[in-house]
Amino acid sequence: MTSSIANMNYAIIGGASGMGLATVHTLLARGAKVAVCDISEKNLEALLARLSMKDSSKCFTKTVDVTDRSAIDCFFLEAKERFGSINGIANFAGTGGHGLGTEAVWQTSEDEYNFIMNLNVKGLFNVLSSALVPGFLAEHASVVHIGSIFSQKGFLNGAVFAASKHAALGMVRSAAKETGSRVRVNCVLPGVIDTPMHRANLERVKNFTPTPATPIPRDGNAQEVANVVAFLLSEESSFVTGDAWNVDGGANA
């Protein structure tokens, strides 16, 4: 069976590393065209360098900071101009902040609060408020945002991070109500996933174990998240909207 992703056009934000990068490769492998933006120019160059000739002809990249609304507008416009239409968007750009797992709420600085909220909440606002203007995306398009299992529960010494991920889920669910059958909007909630972000947390904090004793007793990998994101971006999930999909080895069981 040909994937419904073949011949579709997607825009991926934060696609140069980790789960975003795995999603870019998954969509290209299934025959889609993919516009990729990220704040890291170096990682975007590395992504392009690794693509086959065939895949690089179906992909373009742009250095964009998701917190910059006009840069996001330009990225989406360029993707639509180059591809003719946009069938789906996934936003992976996010942060745990600089002190995740080590700072109680009363130890968290106002600068840190602003950094986390700006990226995890305003970044999503920029994406949704730009992309969901009626008529901009193709009919029955799908938008996926990457929250966290901490979109639904507290994080010990990570209150602002958890608050930002709760806010993102609220925005996704509300947007789904506003767009109805025109555009589906969903959130994926990863548990602990082995990515450069997670590895940086492990280096920073000894015994970083935000989800101890999951039924599947290991970390997830980026491809396992990409598979669920690709499903939500595809027509196979045509009756799914306003939902939160855990990819967490059963951490919430």
Residues that bind ligand NAD (CB under 6 A): 13-14, 16-20, 38-40, 43, 64-67, 92-94, 96, 119, 146, 148, 190, 192-193, 195-198
- Nearest Cα residue to 21 out of 252, 213, 186, 225: 225
Residue 104: CB atoms within 10 A of its CB come to: 11
CB of 152 to ligand NAD, least distance (A): 12
Nearer to ligand NAD, 128 or 193 (CB): 193
Residue pair 246/16 in contact (Cβ under 8 Å)? The answer is no
Residue pair 72/66 in contact (Cβ under 8 Å)? The answer is yes
CB of 235 to ligand NAD, least distance (A): 24
CB of 117 to ligand NAD, least distance (A): 12
Beta bridge partners of 201: none
Nearer to ligand NAD, 4 or 211 (CB): 211
The three state secondary structure string of 98-164 is CCCCCCCHHHCCHHHHHHHHHHHHHHHHHHHHHHCCCCCCCCCEEEEEECCHHHCCCCCCCHHHHHH
Residue 55 has φ and ψ, to the nearest 5°, of -70, -35
CB of 164 to ligand NAD, least distance (A): 9
Cα–Cα dist 119/98, whole Å: 13
Beta bridge partners of 61: 36
Nearer to ligand NAD, 138 or 197 (CB): 197
Residue type, 220: G
- Which residue number places its CB atom closest to ligand NAD? 94
Nearer to ligand NAD, 38 or 224 (CB): 38
CB of 69 to ligand NAD, least distance (A): 12
CA 232-15-76 angle, to 5 degrees, is 80
Nearer to ligand NAD, 67 or 130 (CB): 67
CB of 134 to ligand NAD, least distance (A): 26
Nearer to ligand NAD, 84 or 196 (CB): 196
